[in-house]
Amino acid sequence: MNKLRNKPIGQIVAENLTAARVFEAHGMDFCCHGAQTLENACKDHHVTVKQLEAELSALSQLPSQDDSDVSDMELNELTHHIVTVHHVYTKKMLPVIAGHLDTVVKVHGVNHPTLFDIRKNFNSLREELEPHLEKEEKRVFPYIDALAKNIPLPSVDFHKISQPITLLEKEHENAGRIFDDINNLAQGYKPPSDACNTYRLALRELQELEQDLHLHIAQENYLLFPKAIKCEQERLQKC
Ligand SMILES: [Fe+2]
Ligand SMILES: [Fe+2]
């Protein structure tokens, strides 16, 4: 890590694209001013090299790397896990990726016109996902948590949990389809030879979000929702 001090920040990003998030958070320009060393960039942005190095090492614990064992979790632990791991990550990355795509379309759109379609699809995905996450967090998960804890249920506008679940599953399907289109348009997220760091970063972020979304949806469709339906049936039978 000590060797990083004299390395140009553009090179650091080229070798590890996720490092761009750290530089962006400090307003450091790794594209047009990527030739400046980490040490000089730190001086200009009033941050110590030590702090920056610590932030760069923490990148190995990115929230999208979900390897938790969720199979034995109680329902309320599962909703907590999904919100704190997947929803927090998704809500953080949607605007970040949108910003990167705007930059990339502006700079490379003329030479790579598919970028316009990728951005259009991504914006549709964002319009789908943001209210979807909100619905789960405000309407469906509190009901599931009450089922899990066997406490009075919150007042809701559905008779059975299977009703909102059917809709959420349709929305999952739709989001998955949009991401398939993005993946195809981006040719499996392989950057073209003339892609700048931001272009490569946007592709990497799309790929990570897609992987995370697949895991996120699988945990809801195949674990959370069937368990919630079963729990509700058992509770109704006791009444
Ligand atoms: Fe979710
Ligand atoms: Fe969902």
- Find all residues with CB under 8 Å of 65, minimum gap 6, and list them: none
- At 48-76, the pLDDT tens digits run 998 998 888 777 555 445 556 777 789 99
Structural contact between residues 38 and 5, judged by C-beta atoms closer than 8 angstroms:
yes
Helices 141-149, 225-238: inter-axial angle, 10-degree rounding? 50
Query: Is residue 189 helix, strand or coil?
Result: coil
**pLDDT above 70 covers what percent of the chain?**
92
Query: Is residue 8 helix, strand or coil?
Result: strand
Query: Is residue 165 helix, strand or coil?
Result: helix
pLDDT at 39: 93
- Give CA–CA dist 139/134, Å, rounded: 8
| Residue 163, both tokens | 């009703």
CATH number, span 2-61: 1.10.3910
Within the chain, which residue ranges are assigned CATH 1.10.3910?
A: 2-61
pLDDT at 38: 92
pLDDT at 194: 87
Q: Evaluate if residue 111 carries a pLDDT over 80.
A: yes
- Give CA–CA dist 194/206, Å, rounded: 19
Ligand 2 centre to CA of 136 (Å) is 7
- Give CA–CA dist 224/82, Å, rounded: 9
pLDDT at 168: 96
pLDDT at 2: 57
Tokens 């967090």 found at:
137
pLDDT at 15: 65
Ligand 2 centre to CA of 129 (Å) is 8
pLDDT at 59: 72
Number of the ligand closest to the Cα of 168: 2
Ligand 1 centre to CA of 217 (Å) is 7
Number of the ligand closest to the Cα of 81: 1
pLDDT at 239: 66
Ligand 1 centre to CA of 94 (Å) is 14
Structural contact between residues 41 and 28, judged by C-beta atoms closer than 8 angstroms:
yes
pLDDT at 17: 65
Q: Give the up-direction half-sphere exposure of residue 5: CA atoms within 13 A in the CB hemisphere.
A: 6
Ligand 1 centre to CA of 219 (Å) is 9
Q: Quick one: average pLDDT of 159-181?
A: 95
Q: How far is CA 98 from CA 37, 127, 136, 203, in A?
A: 28, 11, 23, 11
**What predicted TM-score, i.e. pTM, was given to this entire model?**
0.77
Q: How far is CA 129 from CA 68, 91, 122, 135, 179, in A?
A: 23, 9, 10, 10, 12
Q: Quick one: average pLDDT of 26-42?
A: 81
Question: From the CA atom positions of the chain, what is the Rg in Å?
Answer: 21
- Find all residues with CB under 8 Å of 130, minimum gap 6, and list them: 91, 94
pLDDT at 29: 75
- Give CA–CA dist 51/5, Å, rounded: 12
> In the 8-state DSSP scheme, what is residue 186?
T
- At 197-233, the pLDDT tens digits run 899 999 999 999 998 898 899 889 988 999 999 999 9
Structural contact between residues 33 and 197, judged by C-beta atoms closer than 8 angstroms:
no
pLDDT at 61: 52
